[in-house]
Structure formats: C-alpha cells, structure tokens
Amino acid sequence: MSEVAAVRTYLLSLQDSIVETFEALEADAGGPRFLRDAWQRPAGGTLEGDGCSQLVEQGAVLERGGCNFSHVRGHALPPSATQHRPELAGAPFEALGVSLVMHPLNPYVPTVHMNVRMLSARLPGAEPVSWFGGGMDLTPYYGFEDDARHFHRTCADALAEFPGELHARFKPWCDEYFFLRHRGEPRGVGGIFFDDFAEGGFERGFALMRATGDAFLRAYQPIVMRRRGTPYGERERDFQAYRRGRYVEFNLVWDRGTHFGLHGGGRTESILMSMPPVAKWRYDWKPEPGTPEARLTSDFLRPRDWLRE
C-alpha cells in the first residue's frame, strides 16, 4: 500500500468511528442521524478528488456538528499552503485530511475542533515531499477547570510516546494560533496544534497524525457526557450565541485552513460546515463583573498551564 493510500485508509476509519460515536449519543437523546454527503470533483478542474461530509443539524446533543473527509489533487500549491516551504509554491500536490467541528446545543458543553491532515507535493524530477498538520482545541462558553484539565491531559498523553517534548511545543503553538489578534483574546482554552511537520520522515509524521486523531474521543466525549444534562435557560443560550460570534470571526479572518479551502477552489459547503448555526454580535458589550460570563474571559480565556495549576 502506498503512503497516501495508507493515510487515506486511516482517515476514513477515523471519520467513521467519530461519527458512529456521536450518532449513538444523538440516538440516546432522541436526536437524528448524521447526513452523509459523498462528493467527487472530476479531473480537469483546479482541484480533483473526492470526499465525504457527514453532519447533523438541530440534534438533541449537537445543534450543528460535522466531520469531513477530503482527498484532493491540484496542479499548483497556493501560497497559503507553503508559508514555511516557499520553494514548493506552484508545485502539483495532494492534500487529504479529516476535519471536524461540534457545536453542542447545551451552552455548558464546549465547542470542539479537531483536524488531522497530510500534504504531499512533487516538483518535476524530484521525490515527493510530505508533511503533516493537525491538532484539537476546546472552546467553552462556561468554564469548568476539570474539563479543561482533562482535555489538556489527554492531549499530553497522546504525545508522550514521541521524543522531543512535543506537547511542550504544540500546546503554546495552539495558544498562539487560535488567537483573535483583532480582539486581543484567545478563541478558547487551546489544546495542541502543529503544522508543516516532517521531522523523522513519513512514518513519524503518520504516527503523530494517528496519535492525535485517536485521542479526540478520549479528550472530548467525557466532557459531553458530564455536561450535556446541565439545566440552562435563555441567558445561557444568548451568551453562547454571543461567544460563537468570536468563533465565526476567527474562522473567516485568521484560519489558514479556511483560506486554503476557499481560495484554492475547495468545496464551500464543506469548508463552512465549521460555522455555528446561531451567532450574535453586540456593539462593545461586556458581561457584568463577577458573573459566570465574565469569568470566562478573566479566568479561562488566557494561556494557562492546565497540567500543573
């Protein structure tokens, strides 16, 4: 089996296991099944390839959630994909990955994002160059320290088998990346993030991809189970929608993956699956000091050493 075929097989299995888990949670709560939307881009265009978007809307657990697989080939890497490898700009490439965003209905359950991906490019007459990226991050609306500690501990455990203290590198990278520079505030409590990873060659990069993808359910599912039955009212839903506005701003303004997809000829519906179904903006609004809503930014949405505090 070729390297690309091995990665594809793993990613499809990962997508299925995640969707099956959330379908079971929806079924237990009387919610709907995920929609499965397989797609294909024929040869001859800017991009060719195939993929499958699986998503649920208006669920009992997830107000909107999706898990996408894509495998595309293009004639020329766009600049957004070659920030650290400018010599490959314009090279033919393959890109495949799984990306998910889950926006729960209950405001006490945090939103989560996870992505694992591989890019491979080949200049004429040269061997293919492959690199990996990915990670996961948590975006709470109401902060619970045990949830954040569990999420970060699971991320750290997933990287513990690799030399080089990867968690010590990837945790600050996540804090730095998922930051709304125009607001001067983090998107959430972070997790891990890595990009352009080619250390140790294909085998190590693929192992890192698998470790990250396989840790996702262990990191997030226990938090969903713990918080999904917490009573809430209109106040909590209103604040959830307000904070979701920040999520939209980050994805459209700063997220490299969104830019790569939209400007590289990607499938718009699949790319914008990450958007929450309901979001609000208010002019210069701030929560009342001392409230749970105010404590989100004062106590949680700042870089913290969740493993040692």
Task: For residue 60, give Cα distances in angstroms to 24, 29, 187, 254.
Answer: 11, 6, 25, 31
Cβ distance 48 to 72 under 8 Å?
yes
Active site residue 113: yes
Beta bridge partners of 69: 52, 98
Catalytic choice (113, 150, 152, 259): 113
Phi, psi dihedral angles at 200 (to 5 degrees): 85, 5
Distances (CA, A) of 295 to 70, 150, 200: 38, 20, 42
Tokens of 72: 């595309």
d(CA 166, CA 148): 19
**Strand partners for 70:** 51, 97
Checking 175-180 for CB contacts under 8 A at 24+ apart, the result is: 175/303, 178/137, 178/250, 179/254, 180/246, 180/249, 180/250, 180/253, 180/254
Q: What Å distances lie between residue 167 and 61, 161, 182, CA to CA?
A: 31, 10, 27
Q: How many residues does the chain have?
A: 309
- The dihedral through the CA atoms of 17, 41, 8, 208 has a sign that is negative
H helices of the chain, in order, are: 3-28, 145-159, 166-177, 201-227, 234-253, 256-263, 268-271, 292-295
Residues tagged active-site: 113
